[in-house]
Structures are given as structure tokens and as C-alpha cells.
Amino acid sequence: MSEIAAGVMAPAFTMPASGGRIASSAALQGKPYLLYFYPKADTPGCTTQACGIQEALPQLGKLKLEVIGVSPDPVAKIEKFAAKFGLTFPLAADEDHAVAEAYGVWVEKSMYGKTYMGMERSSFLVGADGKVVKVWRKVKPAEHAAQVMEAAKGL
């Protein structure tokens, strides 16, 4: 597992996304973006986080920041989640968790004494040059949008 830190080039990605879109690093060349990983669509923490980001989109847009949410859910589940909460930014399906692994966020988790592999709630702010500017690990959903906005002002 590679540790992605500020200053390194962000790993390339291409994934199917909500709204029939394709989320890809190539399409974002020359633009700053936030790639945020969340464990499961339509769960309380993920909903809080996604809705917070949706609310912040007008301000993030002024900062010319693109946002992509990534989960291991299939596209059909992501589409339902996006429609239910009016999420307009792309939500990408990383079903084989290849992108999560490239970013080091496909990790061993534990619940009720059972260990399993899953998505760590983490975010990566990437500058227009393709380099990681800021990394948030084990994100707190309610605080995330404000943290991103503060960090994006410096881009």
C-alpha cells in the first residue's frame, strides 16, 4: 500500500460515475480537484459528508475546484444516492477498489470483532499541476466541507 502525501503526483484514475459520466484524472488536467473516498452510499455518515459538499459546491466552484466522490458501490446504487439527495457532482464507482488501493485507502477495518477490507473515509486535494496538496485521513463527515473550503482557498 502506497502512502500518498502532499507533494506527490496523484495516481491516475478512470471510473464510471453518476449521471452517465466518466470520472478521470486525464479530464481534470490543469484543474484543481478534490477526490474523496467514502465507504457506502446512503449511510448516515456518507450522506452527511456528501450533502455538506453539495452545499459548499457554489463556493468551491468559485475557487474552480472540481469534486468527485468515490465509493466501492455499483453505479446503480450511486445513481439512487445522488438522486435521493440531489447530488450534482460526480460520484464514481470503484467496484474493484483499484483506485482506493492506489490511494492507500482500501484498508483492513473491524466491526463487532470481525475484520474485513473496506474504504477508509479519506480525501485528497489535488492542485492544477496534478500534485497532492492536502490529505485528510479518517475524515469527520460533518466538518469535511469546511476543511476543504479552507484548504482550497490556498490553491
Domain assignment present for residue 73? The answer is yes
CB 139 within 8 A of CB 49: yes
Closest CA to 35 of 108, 130, 109, 118: 130
> What is the C-alpha separation between 126 and 152, in angstroms, rounded?
9
Beta carbons of 109 and 117 less than 8 angstroms apart:
yes
Quick: pLDDT tens for 82-126: 999 999 999 999 999 999 999 999 999 988 999 999 999 999 999
Residue 28 CA to residue 127 CA, distance in Å, equals 10
| Domain count for the chain | 1
Provide the pLDDT for residue 2: 55
What is the DSSP secondary structure assignment for residue 73, as one 8-state letter? S
Residue 2 lies in a domain: no
pTM of the model: 0.94
Q: Which of 4, 10, 41, 46 is catalytic?
A: 46
Q: Which domain covers residue 121, as residue numbers?
A: 14-152
Q: Angle, nearest 10°, between helix axes 141-152 and 44-62?
A: 20
Q: What is the pLDDT of residue 1?
A: 44
Is residue 1 situated within a structural domain?
no
CATH assignment of the domain containing 43: 3.40.30.10
Residues 152 and 34 sit within 8 Å (Cβ to Cβ): yes
Q: Which pLDDT tens digit goes with each residue over 122-133?
A: 999 999 999 999
Q: Quick check: is 109 in a domain?
A: yes
Residue 7 covered by a domain = no
Q: What is the mean pLDDT of residues 10-35?
A: 96
Active site residue 51: no
**Domain annotation covers residue 62:** yes
